[in-house]
Chain A
Amino acid sequence: MNKIGLIIEREFLNRVHKKSFLVATILIPLIFPTIIALLVFISKASEKNASKEVIYYIDESRIFVPDTSKYIFRNFSGSLEDAKKAFTASDDFGLLYIPPFELSKPEGITLYTRIHPSLDEISVIENLFEGEIKDLKMQKLRIDQKILDSLKTKVNINTVKISEGGQEKSSNSGVLFGIGMAGGILMYMFIFIYGAQIMQGIIEEKTSKVVEVIVSSVKPFQLMMGKIIGLASVGLLQFMIWIILMTTLTFGVFHYFGIDPPQQQAIQQMSGQVAAQQTAMNSEIMNVFNETYNLPWTFIIFIFLFYFLGGYLIYGALFAAVGSAVDSPAEAQQFMFPITIPMLISYLSLFMFILRDPQGTVSVWLSIIPFTSPIAMMGRIGFEVPPWQLALSMTLLVAGFIFTTWVAGRIYRVGILMSGTKVNYKVLAKWFLQRG
């Protein structure tokens, strides 16, 4: 056991001392928010700085009121033919022709452009007309804007779950959806990245032949487990650092945008219509924020860690077996396929079934079968999983990794000492059955 400890320590230090670990650990949680922030910033900046395009218009309907927020509209007095000629000679954006039309049937409005306009550009102009026609219709029907506004009502349904004890708990499906998706994707990435690293490490040991020296000091099984556990501890460390960084960052960002954590919340009273709207929006954000804040984070993180370890051990053992059997990563491809399949199934099901219907039959079974449960359970975890399902799933997960570790160990002990053999599934089976 003492020797497994040494191997774990070695593997851990090897990875953690690498610059790439430091870079990945610190940068990854920063990279995505930074990229998003940057994109938002750039698009805002370009919107502000862009010089407005010029559109000429011929208004034969006499109802067009140019709105100059997006485009510069210039009236052209003359025939359409003249306008077209003048337009082709200029380098302006477009020529808008508005024939006389009935309010109930606005047809024939045409935009001439030199380049094909984007959907956005068209819809801006369409909205202009729709707004104007609406105003005209309202005047005709004698409808006051105020009456119209008073008709508008926004409804947000609060979902409240009543437990058997009668306790009420509000929940926000959107937040739970987000948690499920993030957890599932994170799980998928973690298992793949770390599983591939196990395989890589074993292939390196095998091709550098150092493995024979090592197994003359420790049992092959000890070496395999030491490697798997060593890498798991690196993964956990990385995960912890990410959690801390992201939490700090999130709070930092919320604070920067003036959204305070619930304890300090104090929604300022504002007057007027705009303010009321803003408050409504703010309170919705507050709501999401509250929901997020009030989630059972300790429970979710515990479950994540449990399923990460379980899933990682199940797949890590399989990756280890593959690594021991082959002489190069290229050769490993053929064996990766069957390992990848259940991962992909659970990943795709995450979006197709689990997040849409967390309590559906497919979702429930996927979250119980050990090979798919790590990802599937993360998708469901926010939506109150019945305890018996959780218990069954966790038990099967433990049984699953004991099983794959046993199978992998038997292949590994033979595989690491074989080089230059052409390996197929028959050979793997033979190794598995081989005695001591």
Chain B
Amino acid sequence: MDALVARGITKRYAQHVALDKVSFTIPEQTIYGLLGPNGAGKTTLIRIINQIINSDEGEILIFGEKLHSNHIGVIGYLPEERGLYKKLKVGEQLVYLARLKGMSRKDALARIKVWLEKFEILDWWNKKVEDLSKGMAQKVQFISTVMHEPRLIILDEPFSGFDPINAQLITTEILDLKKKGCTIIFSTHRMETVEDLCDHIALLDKSRKILEGSKKQVKDQFKSNTFIIDHRGAFSLNGGPYELLSQLPGEADLLKSTIRMTDPRSPNDLIRDLIPLTELHSFQEKIPTMSDIFISLVKGEPHE
């Protein structure tokens, strides 16, 4: 079953369209990257999923059911702009937030204790949030997102504000949650996160979805049949099915060349054709990074 299916989601404001017929499918137990430049409509989409605002058109299915107020307890949401009640104590605050999500006080207490122990911060129970450092508050906020055991977790820029150690801790927890069956939506600009963690992505730009698929599919789609070779001895390769894009001095006395195949054929053909020309030290297909793909799709267009 798919964790979330969105069909033709449209949201219009007085002066602009925030989302224009956006459809996508998030398979269960995956980490799904929701990408896009600022102002693309990511936050609006997330707010619609969280039922903070309503879409004008389209429908959303959560685990096969139409989006309904009962789904509030199914979803855990970490907004990009973090915020907790400053004057409330950590424990009291988490219990309140858990109860708003529909947990009983007793269950909430038990679950929160487990999480605080896991992060080794149980002794913060009676500390006020305003006395915590930014990183500490982030941990509390992360717990507030996952304590009610949501099956769908939406994390908006989850790593901003974390130092590398805590970011690693959170990454581990996210992977653990996925292993336990949770589906996770990442909204982020950080392409290394997408590269490392996401299984699927969707790219929004100017209120439309312009790309969707598994990471492998997307990369395959953007492969340009370009290969990078390290070799000894210069050569030129003009005409034929190949195009020599660059040949530059590489490490030691080797040269590094980038070659594109102008018509699709097997890499073996290229190797076969190269061997007479030079001494081949390494051969590697150039796979586009998510960052390359993002920039190539979004580039050149004016953004806010």
In the complex, residue of chain B having the shortest beta-carbon distance to the beta carbon of A414: B53
Closest 5 CB pairs of A and B: A209-B83, A436-B54, A210-B83, A217-B100, A209-B81
How many B residues face the partner with a CB closer than 8 A? 28
Q: What residues on A are CB-neighbors of B77 within 8 Å? A: 212-213, 216
Listed by A's residue number, 28 A-B pairs whose Cβ atoms lie within 8 Å are A3-B100, A6-B100, A7-B100, A204-B86, A208-B85, A209-B81, A209-B82, A209-B83, A211-B83, A212-B52, A212-B77, A212-B79, A212-B81, A213-B77, A213-B97, A216-B50, A216-B51, A216-B72, A216-B77, A216-B79, A217-B100, A417-B47, A417-B53, A434-B13, A435-B56, A436-B53, A436-B54, A436-B56
**Residues of A3-23 whose CB lies within 8 A of B:** 3, 6-7, 10, 14
| Highest count of chain A CB atoms <10 Å: which of B84, B99, B144 | B99
Q: Do B101 and A208 touch across chains, with their CB atoms under 8 A apart? A: no
Other A-B contacts than A208-B84, A216-B75, A434-B14, 11 sampled, CB-CB below 8 A, are A3-B100, A6-B100, A7-B100, A14-B88, A212-B52, A217-B97, A217-B101, A218-B100, A417-B47, A419-B81, A434-B13
Size of the A side of the interface (Cβ < 8 Å), in residues, is 25
Majority-rule SS of A interface residues: helix
Q: How far is the CA of A3 from the CA of B69 in the complex (A)?
A: 12
Which residues from B are CB-within-8-Å of A218?
100
Give Cα distance in the complex from A205 to B77, angstroms: 17
Check B52 against A215 for contact (C-beta < 8 Å).
Answer: yes
B96 CB-CB contact with A under 8 Å: yes
Given contacts A208-B84, A210-B84, A211-B83, contact A417 B52 (CB under 8 A): yes
A357 CA / B53 CA spacing, docked (Å)? 51
Q: How far is the CA of A425 from the CA of B51 in the complex (A)?
A: 27
Known contacts A14-B87, A216-B75: does B99 contact A6 (CB below 8 Å)? yes
| Residues of B with C-beta under 8 A to A3 | 100
Contacts of B88 in A (CB 8 A): 14
A124 at the interface (CB under 8 A from B): no
The secondary structure that dominates the B interface is loop
What residues of chain B lie closer than 8 Å to A134, measured between beta carbons? none
A6-B99, A417-B52 known; A213+B72 contact, CB < 8 A = no
Q: 0/1 per residue, A415-426, Cβ < 8 Å to B?
A: 001010000000
Give the residues in chain A near B97, CB-CB below 8 Å: 213-214, 217
Task: Give the CA-CA distance A422 to B278 in the complex, in Å.
Answer: 65
B81: chain A residues within 8 A (beta carbon): 209, 212, 419
Say yes or no: A212 contacts B83, CB within 8 Å.
yes
Which of B14, B81, B84, B97 has most A Cβ within 10 Å?
Answer: B81
Contacting residues, chain A, for B53 (C-beta < 8 A):
417, 436
B52 touching A213, Cβ below 8 Å: no
Question: For window 194-235 of chain A, which residues contact chain B by CB distance below 8 Å?
Answer: 204-205, 208-218, 220
CB distance from B49 to the nearest CB of A (A): 9
Q: In the bound complex, what is the Cα–Cα distance between A208 and B83 (angstroms)?
A: 5
Contact among B54, B96, B144 for A10, CB-based, below 8 A = B96
Q: Which of B14, B53, B82, B87 has the most CB of A within 10 A?
A: B53
Contacts of B51 in A (CB 8 A): 216
- For residue A70, CB closer than 8 A to chain B, the reply is no
In the assembled complex, which residues on chain B have CB atoms less than 8 Å from the CB atom of A435? 54, 56
Q: Across the interface, name the chain A residue whose C-beta is closest to B98.
A: A217
| Alpha-carbon separation in the docked complex, A249 to B79 (Å) | 52
B134 to chain A, nearest CB (A): 13
A216 to B47, CA, bound (A): 8
Scan residues 36-69 of chain B and give those whose CB is less than 8 A from a CB of chain A: 47, 50-54, 56
Answer whether residue A255 sits at the interface, using C-beta atoms and an 8 A cutoff: no
Residues from chain B with Cβ under 8 Å of A419 in the complex: 81
Given the complex, which residues of A lie within 8 Å of B54, measured CB to CB?
435-436
- The contact string, 1 if C-beta is below 8 Å from chain B, for chain A 92-134, is 0000000000000000000000000000000000000000000
**Chain B 72-109 per-residue mask, 1 if CB under 8 angstroms from chain A, else 0:** 10010101011111111000000011011100000000
Chain A's nearest CB lies how many Å from the CB of B94? Answer: 11
Q: Please determine whether A213 and B14 come into contact, CB atoms closer than 8 angstroms.
A: no
Complex: how many Å from CA A211 to CA B52? 11
The answer to whether A214 and B100 touch across the interface, beta carbons within 8 angstroms, is yes
Once the chains are docked, how many angstroms separate the CA of A419 from the CA of B79? 14
Q: Which residues of A have CB within 8 Å of B82?
A: 209
A393 to B97, CA, bound (A): 40
A430 within 8 A of partner (CB)? yes
Give the chain A neighbours of B72 by CB distance below 8 A.
Answer: 216-217
Q: Which of B1-44 contact A (CB under 8 A)?
A: 13-14
- Distance of B148 from chain A, by nearest CB (Å): 9
Q: B72: nearest residue on chain A (CB-CB)? A: A217
Nearest CB in chain A: distance from B261 CB, A: 49
Closest to B145 in A: A213
Closest B residue to A208 by CB, please name it.
Answer: B83
Q: Chain A residues with Cβ under 8 A from B86's Cβ?
A: 204, 208
- What is the CB-to-nearest-CB distance from A21 to chain B, in angstroms, rounded to a whole number? 13
Instruction: Report the bound CA distance from A14 to B85 in whole Å.
Output: 11
**In the assembled complex, which residues on chain A have CB atoms less than 8 Å from the CB atom of B75?**
216
Q: Are A210 and B100 in contact (CB under 8 A)?
A: no
CB distance from A2 to the nearest CB of B (A): 9
- Whether the Cβ atoms of B52 and A216 lie closer than 8 Å is yes
The distance from the CB of A16 to the nearest CB of chain B, in whole angstroms, is 14
Q: Which of A156-195 contact B (CB under 8 A)?
A: none
The smallest beta-carbon distance between B30 and chain A, in angstroms, is 22
* Those of A286-333 within 8 Å (CB) of chain B: none
CB distance from A134 to the nearest CB of B (A): 70
Cα distance A417–B50 in the bound complex, in angstroms:
13
Inter-chain CA distance A208–B50, complex, in Å, is 19
How many Å from the CB of B83 to the closest CB on chain A? 3
Q: Most chain-A Cβ atoms within 10 A of its Cβ — which of B14, B88, B100, B141?
A: B100
Chain A: minimal CB distance from B38 (Å) = 13
Residues of A contacting B85 with CB < 8 Å? 205, 208, 210
On chain B, the residues within 8 Å of A417 by CB distance are 47, 52-53
Q: What residue in chain A is nearest B73 (Cβ atoms)? A: A217
Q: How far is the CB of A211 from chain B (nearest CB, A)?
A: 7
In the complex, what's the smallest C-beta–C-beta distance from B280 to chain A, in angstroms? Answer: 56
Q: Could you say which of B13, B79, B88, B144 has the most chain A C-beta atoms within 10 Å of its C-beta?
A: B79
Residues of chain B within 8 A (CB-CB) of A14 are: 87-88
Instruction: Say how far A55's CB is from chain B's closest CB, in angstroms.
Output: 64
- State in angstroms the CA–CA spacing of A204 and B97 once bound together: 17
Q: Which residues from chain B contact A216 at a C-beta distance below 8 Å?
A: 50-52, 72, 75, 77, 79
B14 / chain A contacts, CB cutoff of 8 Å? 430, 434
Q: Which residue of B lies closest to A13 (CB)?
A: B92
Closest A residue to B51 using CB positions: A216
Minimal Cβ-Cβ distance residue in B for A223 = B100
Closest CB of chain B to A158's CB: distance in Å? 57
